Structure 1
């Protein structure tokens, strides 16, 4: 087997480097030309590591008139002038923002670079005055409008999340700084801001209400990310080698890629896209893994979930929401869904046209099981390193019919619970059961229900079908009786596998499973 020796742009976010050094590039230049030639001030929200920085770098090369970098790409047939403009590229990605001075320092760093080119007469003034002066001078010197590109405009705000005083300092600074983009409009040829979140109008965007927010516009739904067509056309040799290395057929390989990394929809009825970061990393080592999820732990989102007492079961099954409730994040709102959506852990999966209601759910298995795995230590005594061991053992025990060992092991998930959780006993334990069975679902046919009239959990293995009923304030006998009375076994009686019903009794005083009966 000949190894594929093509260069993958992992960690490379500069368009010029990708093109000059012969890295693979998924051609998005038709979007660049269309956007650059049909409007002026734009905003795009996308999750982290989704190609926003590369997109801005492509705009920088285009407005820099670097025609040679675009040979063979779609834009080559569209652009005729290749005019050069002054470009101010503000990248807020690279710094840790922990004090008010950190934001000022990075603004100074960029302003000093621009002032060395266009004039530093205002270098002792405020950041917004200096920016206004630089834009004015650059436009006068070049005899044309200036291009302003802002990468991750909200990075300081997100890093200050939870520290309201620091967040307010950053908000005031950025509001004034970005406000220049409105007051300097006559000197500007093009403006493009990217970020993860769209903070509400009362925040930094209040002076930028003229921005064209293309985050949910269907014609730009695939501007970041990789479509299935782009995957199969751009990475055909890599897909073939991935199939061979994992002993899969080409069809099975595509299906596994879709199950793990596809499924992001940024507009109702739009084509789905694959996570580009995970796709590149799969092809780098030819191993399937949770690449994107591992690069950023959603600790602050989980803390937000706990603080808001949001029912995790609703989140895991999918959340119904109106567009206004998940596209703008209000710092003071007791609603974690906008930030979870904008961070890429939820995406649009369905849309009810009549009522204007969206269904938000996990985009794919990488995010679904990565997120549930990450939640386990916050709701149980099991630490990260033990989770896969426990889940694997759970599956093995149920496959062999050893439900006693399964339930004994399940008790470990409830050991040493923090006492303060006791006042929310029922909800908390229901969530833990839910998480465990949802995690098992990646290896076997397991489903867990919260609706009345259905068993609490059903697990199907090659030889057995288990129907579980859990009783917090009742006995194992009552749980079994409910299975019979409600007819929970009826849907499975035509199945050839052995049916096993199990009533499980939960002792609220001990905060653990106490008895079970088959």
Structure 2
């Protein structure tokens, strides 16, 4: 078989088809939408295939039947009516002030106006869009399709700045306002983005938009489902397995561990990150591709704004949908932004009590997110932190907790003193980050038991470690506290030997002074 062509960095449907590149058929979803409504919104994380979906829609509505041979929509669509399409990609409107954004919108409008012979446009982006839709409708004799990709791109980087966000939001609201008043001249409107801004703030007039972001029937519209992986990429799995001398089953398990785990509704199938999956097949390596392609500045800025602790996000959370599928500009916690950006995802849904369990989707995101937190909570020397974590993992694989703590003590001796080392939580967060870098282990904090709680629980390949932290005390008192609370009973079901560890920190030194292991 010839070498597979992967559409890395290519988001144009016609180019992918014409060049014979790998394409996972999502056209049935498009037909379903086109047949059942007019206004749709879809939110998905970055690099999840939104732009390709929009490009596919454009080819479909332009009636380019030749591009869809062998795809689901070829047998579903009987008419193939050609419609005029206005496609606006807002991803180029990032990092702009108010006037710059207005200029950008006018530039994008001018591109479309030239196609339809408009040489003297009205002033103002909203007036120009109204005139453009009216002109296209009149000259083509058909309703117009409007596709807006990454609608929120201009606002994301200032989401933490109330004044600047308000100014840019008004510009965008003004631009989108004609979509409601031109309803009779529109065949279909599809809007994508990462975040969910409140309908009143952005689409104040568009009160009939159908948000399909958490609909079960559209949960697999972006990304690669497990069935699609096994169907479209069976050959790729075998090639990857052969390269790494793995069985097919082991290669699938490794792909699932690294890139799977996303769920976008209560009954969503398993969804893989498409960007990471295609990169893995192309490079034949299990690398960190999605997170490695850049941590958005808006995420880090919002973490600082909400004083987020690592244990707040790299852990399981139970929440009502309204607490994470919520407008980002009115959010009271960072949970909606983390969910909508793809850093946490749905892991379970309890129908009886109507709540969701959310967690980090997979190993790639967990490691990337943990590394992104190192400078703010441990040290700016991320290399030293990750190297120390690696050596600690090697020690724990040998069941050498004493050696692991010696490594940790040496490392903390290199970390600059900071003002907030006088409370136990500071050290708990530091250890949580370091242990979270041990990707093959499970770590949790504040684990409740029938008679108390455990500061940190670490499950390795061989042992279950219960860590009790104290400051300016002594490690033996830590161990007595563990004994008194009878922590062993709570974790007996792990089936692994339980090792209790008492660790004492000196706030003046900012380091471990002593410990006791039982």
Which residue pairs with 1:432 in the alignment? 430
User: Match for 1:134 among 132, 135, 140?
Assistant: 132
Partner of 1:178: 176
Find the counterpart in structure 2 of residue 51 from structure 1. 49
- CA distance in structure 2 between the partners assigned to 1:263 and 1:281 by the alignment: 17
What is residue 79 of structure 1 aligned with on the other side?
77
Report the secondary structure of 2:42's partner residue: strand
Per-residue CA deviation, residues 40-91 of structure 1 (Å, 9 max, x unaligned), is 1111000101010000101100111111001111111011221111100000
* Matching of residue 61 in structure 1 with residue 59 in structure 2: yes
Cα distance, 1:251 vs structure 2: 0.7
Aligned to 1:451: 448
Q: Secondary structure at the match of 1:317?
A: coil
Aligned length: 514
Match of 1:502 in 2: 501
Match of 1:331, SS state, is: helix
Is contact 2:440–2:460 with CA below 8 Å preserved after alignment? no
Which residue of 2 is the match for residue 353 of structure 1? 351
CA distance in 1, matches of 2:100, 2:121: 18
Give yes or no for contact 2:159–2:302 (8 Å, CA) kept in 1. no
**Distance change (3 Å), C-alpha of 1:433 and 1:298:** farther
C-alpha contact (below 8 Å) 2:315/2:444 kept by paired residues: no
- What is the CA distance between 1:113 and its match in structure 2? 1.7
Moved more, 412-421 or 201-210: 412-421
In structure 2, the partner of 1:512 is 511
1:291 aligned residue: 289
Alpha-carbon distance in structure 2 between the residues aligned to 1:361 and 1:308: 19
Matched, 1:157 2:177: no
Please give the secondary structure, in 2, of the residue aligned with 1:471.
Answer: strand
C-alpha distance in structure 1 between counterparts of 2:249 and 2:413, whole Å: 42
Question: 1:367 aligns to what SS in structure 2?
Answer: helix
- In the alignment, what sits opposite 1:380? 378
TM-score normalised to structure 1 length = 0.92
Partners of 1:40 and 1:498 in 2: CA distance: 59
- Which among 44, 68, 71 is matched to residue 70 of structure 1? 68
Residues 1:123 and 2:121 are matched in the alignment: yes
Change (3 A) 1:496 1:173: closer
**What SS is found at the alignment partner of 2:160?**
coil
How far 1:447 moved relative to its partner? Answer: 5.3
**1:269 equivalent in structure 2:** 267
CA pair 237-507 structure 1, distance change in 2 beyond 3 A: same
SS at match of 1:202: helix
Residue 101 (str. 1) matches residue 99 (str. 2): yes
| Distance (Å, rounded) in 2 between the aligned partners of 1:372 and 1:345 | 11
Q: 1:463 to 1:89 in 2, by over 3 A?
A: closer
For residues 249-277 of structure 1, give each alpha carbon's deviation from its aligned partner in whole angstroms, at most 9, with x where no partner exists: 11111111111111111100221211110
Indicate the residue corresponding to 1:471 in structure 2: 470
> How many angstroms apart in 2 are the aligned matches of 1:61 and 1:262?
29
Contact 1:321/1:359 (8 A) holds in 2? yes
Which residue in the other structure is 2:337 paired with? 339
Residue aligned with 1:8, SS: coil
| Residues 16, 507 of structure 1: alpha-carbon distance in 2 compared, 3 angstrom cutoff | same
> What secondary structure is seen at the aligned counterpart in 2 of 1:203?
helix
Q: Equivalents in 2 of 1:240, 1:260: separation in Å?
A: 17
Matched ranges for 1:474-493 at <5 A: 474-489=473-488
In structure 2, what is the equivalent of residue 198 of structure 1? 196
User: Relative to structure 1, is the Cα distance of residues 299 and 394 closer, same or farther in structure 2, using a 3 angstrom cutoff?
Assistant: farther
Q: Matched residues in 2 for 1:183 and 1:494: separation?
A: 62
The CA RMSD measured in Å over matched residues stands at 2.4
Answer with 504-513 or 267-276: which moved more: 504-513
- Structure 2 portions without partners, runs of 5+: none
CA deviations over 1:260-304 (Å, ceiling 9, x no partner): 111111100221211110110000011001111111214432442
SS in structure 1 of the partner of residue 164 of structure 2: helix
Q: CA deviation at 1:102?
A: 2.8
- Secondary structure of residue in 2 paired with 1:469: strand
Aligned-pair CA distance for 1:403: 3.5
In structure 1, the residue matched to 2:255 is: 257
Match of 1:230 in 2: 228
Gaps of 5+ in 1: none
- For residues 373-396 of structure 1, the C-alpha deviation after alignment (integer angstroms, 9 at most, x for no partner) is 221221012522233311111012
Aligned to 1:317: 315
Q: Secondary structure at the match of 1:451?
A: strand
Does the 8 Å contact 1:145/1:189 carry over to 2? yes
User: Judging changes above 3 Å, is the alpha-carbon distance between structure 1 residues 516 and 126 closer, same or farther for their aligned structure 2 residues?
Assistant: same
- State the distance in 2 between where 1:117 and 1:400 align: 69
Report SS of the residue matched to 1:514: strand
Aligned to 2:433, the other structure's residue is in SS state: helix
The answer to which of 36-45 and 429-438 deviates more is: 429-438
Offset from partner CA, 1:167-224 (integer Å, 9 cap, x none): 2221111101111100111111110000001111331122222111111111111011
